[in-house]
Amino acid sequence: QSVLTQPPSVSGAPGQRVTISCTGRSSNIGAGYDVNWYQQLPGTAPKLLIYGNSNRPSGVPDRFSGSRSGTSASLAITGVQAADEADYYCQSYDSRLFGWVFGGGTKLTVL
Amino acid sequence: EVQLMESGGGLVQPGGSLRLSCVASGVTFSNYAMTWVRQAPGKGLEWVSSINAGGGSTYYADSVKGRFTISRDNSKNTLYLQMNSLRAEDTASYYCATWELDAFNIWGQGTMVTVS
């Protein structure tokens, strides 16, 4: 049971907009700690996709965007492509656990 | 280009020890806080431990506290994870990553640890 809750899977047709939710609690996202998102393509290491709730590292397409509100955060992918098929993880800091926590991950399938 | 390369993984019996290394290149290693994250086969990501740039502050997940020790040698551009009293549930791929902007930015390719 992960501290941050994500849907196990989402899907979308090419070109559609897909969103992935990440629900936390008052000791992590709700406490104001930033949310980061990672993309893990099959068989590869994770890659930082969004940091500080909504910032994209250099090289990440602007099709990817993030937001945070209350005890939740979300990742949106507009114009989804086959190359976006991957596992996506949210992450934040938890003041009750005194450490970083991840969501359980969401598998994106492009139909 | 920043690169991180982990090594030291392998097969170890329960109760045994292993030391992982992570060598950084293309970056001023001493400027970066570092972290270890693991992923059990077919499972999600789990934060393990972090260390600040100077090595004076360390942080651990409850699941490894008292058994694992993170350290670094900035003269060798190397991060370490000493793992003692290993358990079957420690079986995972272990990734090192830079800790920047309150996120884990650059990742290595990982090294597999199997406790059996």
pLDDT tens sequence across A23-49: 999 999 999 999 999 999 999 999 999
What local confidence, expressed as pLDDT, does residue B2 receive? 87
User: How close, in Å, is residue A45 to chain B by CA atoms?
Assistant: 5
Nearest to B103 among A51, A97, A103 (CB): A51
Which of B36, B47, B59, B64 has the highest number of chain A CBs within 10 A, making it the mutation to test binding with A? B47
pLDDT at A19 over 90: yes
Question: Is residue A4 a contact partner of residue A90, using CB atoms and an 8 Å limit?
Answer: yes
pLDDT at B26 over 90: yes
Question: Is residue B104 a contact partner of residue B45, using CB atoms and an 8 Å limit?
Answer: no
User: Per CB distance under 8 Å, which residues of B are interface residues toward A?
Assistant: 35, 37, 44-47, 50, 59-62, 95, 101-110
Question: Rounded mean pLDDT of B20-30?
Answer: 95
Q: Which backbone phi and psi does B19 adopt, to 5 degrees? A: -120, 120
pLDDT at B1 over 90: no
Residue type, B109: Q
- At residue B97 the predicted structure's pLDDT band, cuts being 50, 70 and 90, is very high
pLDDT at A1 over 90: no
Averaged pLDDT score across all residues of chain A: 97
Q: What is the pLDDT of residues B98-107, one digit of tens each?
A: 999 899 999 9
What local confidence, expressed as pLDDT, does residue B95 receive? 98
Q: What is the pLDDT of residues A47-80, one digit of tens each?
A: 999 999 999 999 999 999 999 999 999 999 999 9
Question: CA-to-CA distance for A26 and A95, rounded, in angstroms?
Answer: 9
Question: Rounded mean pLDDT of A85-106?
Answer: 97
Question: Rounded mean pLDDT of B48-55?
Answer: 96
Question: Rounded mean pLDDT of A78-99?
Answer: 97
Question: CA-to-CA distance for B51 and B32, rounded, in angstroms?
Answer: 9
% chain A with pLDDT above 90: 98
B92's CB contacts (< 8 A; 6+ apart) are B38, B39, B40, B41, B43, B46, B112, B113
